[in-house]
Amino acid sequence: MTLHRQLLITILFIYALLLFGVFSLELRNTYDYLTLQLASDVDNTGTSLGLSLTPYIESQDMVGAETVVNAMFDGGFYEKIEVEIYQDPPVSIHRKNISGAQGVPLWFETLLPLPELESKQVLTSGWMQMAQVTVVGHRGLAYQKLWQLVIDLASIFIIGYLITVLLLMRALRYLLGPLDAIRKQAIAISRREYQQALAKPKTKELIDVVDAMNVMAESIERQFNEQLLETEQLRRSAYLDAVSGLSNRKHFMQQAEVQIDEFGHGSLILIKIPVLTDIYQQFGFDYRDNSIKKLADALIENVAFESESLLARISSDEFVLLLPLLHGEELKTYLGKLIPKLKDILSIDTTVQTQSLVIGCCEFEPKAQLKVGELLNVADSALQRAVQNSQPYATEALQAQSKGRLEWKAIIEQAIKNDDIEFSQQMVSYYPNATIRRSSSETLHYELFSQIRIEGELVKAASFISALEQFGLGADFDKAVLRILAKRLESKPGSESLAVNLSLSALRDPKFIQWLAVFAPQHRSFMARLCFDIPEQYFVSDDFDSLLKVLRRNNIRFGIDQFARNLQQLRYLKKVQPDYVKIDFSYAHNAIESEQQAMVLNGLCRAVHAIDVVAIAQRIEDDNKVKALQNLALDAYQGYVDPETPLLFEMKS
């Protein structure tokens, strides 16, 4: 077979496979998204209908109840709405839509069957059950959207494929010169590296080939961006409160555990706004929702100064803030500025004189096994005390014997001065079915965690990281860590890869980046074994170009730690191009408990796989969790440590 035919068949075959893969992935993601949205719509409708029917059923106004059901059924797209009222004799109100999906062939519905989704709500008055509301979603609209997606994608892909065939056939006829530029572009595409378009070569015979390769690269990049957008939408639907745009209760509880474990110090602020009920009763849902959005915007504006803060709406009239580094007088000053702004938003005339807002605060210090629920209970207790005393806020503290921040500052500075830092290790292991694998080894790398010995006991970085960040000691501490590791490991060469964390304060210090640019070339053998774990927050909120230049110039591998913790866009991922991501532990924890959350985790993994990045699950502490996650799209896991794993080197000087 001629070279012309070999090249033509090979390129077109690869392109066809890529298009088929993207087509299948796009269809599956849309199917999952529509199923999730249909389920959410059914649940929301059931809840809303139940709230609307309750006053009519309590007053035995069957005409009013039927009117509400008819309005809800006619205003949406449902297969069935049924209300069974428990009275003597029983009364049933039902509406049903038996029409199918218009314009969609039956074979398509058989090929991609959507589940029948229904929501049942029991309405109560006190302890008495009054009625049961059943809402069944209509799948016709979802089938129409899926069918239209198939038609649109097929049309675009077929036309694009035919155009590509014509371009390649014409170009390959005149292929006489070297194909190095095309070879490099093909390698970049196979590695999911979306480079700039190739410049037109001087050789006329190569012009069309280069054009075709550029079209292919742009097509794949566009599909990656669409997949990333769908993944972001799935995450938002699972973890965001739809009205306020803030984190929901579940996401807050998971993230707060991590923040408390990492920082140990701070304040949890519980904000209750009873007047929202009055606003709803007098002005309706839209006005109330608009007030909630304004409150959320004000809260976001007032926590912007603290990158590690958490903010969520946890119930219809409650917000919660976790501010890791706020205490005492700083907390009072903060509340003094926040309360007037919130009251300003709520300053409307209501006929019911309800306290517009009340705040309960829990200040906490390092304490063994401190739980988010405990902090919320203390904050709620403070809030109730504020209500009883007609005060705008009240605070309570969880006291624990801990070192003051100035004392921690002195300890850290002494450890840096004497290079008195020790380490523990944790192994990151590949799954047997890993999609992305960097080597044939079962281990990706070992992560090293810094510790300081105080009065004979090793203290983890979580106990002093707040002081480290507050006093801007992160850069000096990280320099000391790298100097110590270089000294110990260069005298004990090995093949194991190691990972260390870089602090936010160090990454935000231009002098540290400059120091790293000098340090790395001086310790090439050590840096060849080293990986940096960089917090996602840095890539979301900071200018990281100078850091990436240093890392890439010195061939230093790095990964994103706490990946996807931030619910904002993941567009930075394409520009950063890390070697691996360590997905925030909450995704793996949720995926074990819920198939829908497993779908979100798989979406994240597929998004990073599209740019050839290893996806790692964190805090996998036992065999059951390892096995529960092994059939997902994860490549590796961290946290489960084999007790027989030998230490890489002595952990102390």
**pLDDT reported for residue 438:** 85
Cβ neighbour number for residue 22 with a 10 Å cutoff: 20
> Regarding predicted confidence, which is higher, 405 or 618?
618
- Whether residue 229 has pLDDT greater than 70: yes
Query: DSSP assignment, residue 578?
Result: -
Q: Lowest-pLDDT range, 1-5, 83-87, 580-584?
A: 1-5
Lowest-confidence segment of 156-170, 362-376, 437-451 by average pLDDT: 362-376
Edge to edge, the sheet with strand 310-315 lists: 310-315, 318-323, 266-272, 358-364, 393-398
| pLDDT single digits (tens) 362-388 | 988 765 457 888 889 899 999 998 888
Summarised one tens digit per residue, pLDDT across range 462-475 is 777 777 877 888 99
Amino acid 320: pLDDT: 93
**74-99: average pLDDT:** 79
Whole-number pLDDT of residue 193 = 62
Question: If you average pLDDT over residues 243-260, what whole number do you get?
Answer: 83
- Domain boundary assignment for the chain: 1-239, 249-398, 405-638
CATH 3.10.450.50 fits 249-398, yes or no: no
Which is higher by pLDDT, 188 or 401? 188
**447 contacts 424 by C-beta, under 8 angstroms:** no
Nearest Cα neighbor of 275 from 215, 354, 341 is: 354
pLDDT at residue 405, rounded to an integer: 64
DSSP-derived 3-state class of residue 63: helix
Helix residue ranges, H only, 240-371: 249-263, 275-283, 285-303, 328-345
> Please, is 341 exposed, middle or buried when counting C-beta atoms within 10 Å of its C-beta (0-12, 13-18, 19+)?
middle
Query: What band does 354 get if pLDDT is binned at 50, 70 and 90?
Result: low
3-state DSSP assignment of residue 629: helix
Q: 116-125 long-range contacts, Cβ below 8 Å, gap at least 24?
A: 116/79, 117/35, 117/38, 117/39, 117/42, 118/42, 118/80, 119/42, 119/43, 119/45, 119/46, 119/47, 120/46, 121/46, 121/47, 121/49, 121/50, 123/50, 123/53, 123/54, 123/57, 125/54, 125/58
How far is 616 from 635, CA to CA, in rounded Å?
6
What's the CA gap between 225 and 246, in Å, rounded?
24
Helices (H) and strands (E) counted in the chain, each on its own, are: 23, 18
Q: Judging by DSSP bridges, how do beta strands 393-398 and 358-364 pair with one another? A: parallel
Phi and psi at 428, nearest 5°, equal -110, 115
pLDDT at 349: 46
pLDDT at 537 over 80: yes
Q: List 451's β-bridge partners, or say none.
A: 422, 460
Least confident of 26-30, 186-190, 332-336, 355-359: 186-190
CB 214 within 8 A of CB 160: no
For residue 639, the number of C-alpha atoms closer than 13 Å in the C-beta half-sphere is 18
Taking a C-beta distance cutoff of 8 angstroms, is the pair 464, 408 a contact? Answer: yes
pLDDT for the residue numbered 270: 94
Confidence of residue 607 (pLDDT cuts 50, 70, 90): confident
* 475-494 per-position pLDDT tens digit: 999 999 999 999 888 777 77
So what's the pLDDT on residue 653? 45
Can you tell me the distance from the alpha carbon of 610 to that of 223, in angstroms, rounded to the nearest whole number?
10
Query: What are the helix (H) ranges across 91-138?
Result: 106-111
CB atoms under 10 Å from CB of 171, counted, come to: 21
Q: Find tokens 């102390």 and name the residue.
A: 652
Percentage of the chain modeled with pLDDT above 70: 87
Dig out the tokens for 261 from the structure.
């474990």
Fold of domain 405-638 = TIM Barrel (3.20.20)
Nearby residues of 549 by Cβ (< 8 Å), 6 or more positions away? none
Instruction: Report the distance separating Cα 256 and Cα 250, nearest Å.
Output: 10
Among 118-127, 373-382, 441-450, 621-630, the minimum mean pLDDT is found in 118-127
Predicted confidence at residue 513, as pLDDT, reads 95
In the prediction, which pLDDT does 569 show? 67
Structure tokens at 431: 């799954």
Least confident of 113-127, 222-236, 547-561: 222-236
Say if residue 155's pLDDT is above 80: yes
Beta pairing, strands 422-430 & 358-364: unpaired
Instruction: Indicate if the alpha-carbon torsion angle 234, 235, 236, 240 is positive or negative.
Output: positive
Helix (H) or strand (E) holding 563: strand 557-563
Q: Hey, which residues does 559 pair with through a beta bridge?
A: 533, 580
Instruction: Judge whether 591 and 629 are in contact, CB under 8 Å.
Output: yes
Q: Is the peptide bond before 89 cis (omega within 30 degrees of 0)?
A: yes
Cβ neighbours for 161, distance < 8 A, ≥ 6 positions apart: 12, 15, 16, 19
Beta bridge partners of 360: 270, 394
List b or e across 467-491, with b for residues whose CB sees 16 or more CB atoms inside 10 angstroms: bbbbbebbbbbbbbbbebbbebbee
Indicate the pLDDT class of residue 191, thresholds 50, 70 and 90: low
Confidence of residue 178 (pLDDT cuts 50, 70, 90): very low
**What pTM, to 2 d.p., does this model score?**
0.61
Q: Is the pLDDT of residue 160 over 80?
A: yes
Burial of 125 per CB tally in 10 Å (0-12, 13-18, 19+): exposed
Res. 447 pLDDT band, cuts 50 70 90: very high
What is the pairing mode between strands 91-96 and 78-85? antiparallel
Q: What is the average per-residue pLDDT within 145-157?
A: 85
**Per-residue pLDDT tens digits for 612-653:** 899 999 988 888 889 899 889 999 999 865 554 555 555 454
pLDDT band at 177 (very low <50, low <70, confident <90, very high): very low
Q: 402: Cβ–Cβ under 8 A, 6 or more apart, which residues?
A: 264, 365, 366, 367
In this structure, of 301-315, 507-521, 587-601, the range with the lowest mean pLDDT score is 301-315
What percent of the chain is predicted at pLDDT more than 90? 17
Cα-Cα end-to-end distance for the chain: 65
Across the chain, mean pLDDT equals 82
CATH topology agreement for domains 249-398 and 405-638: no
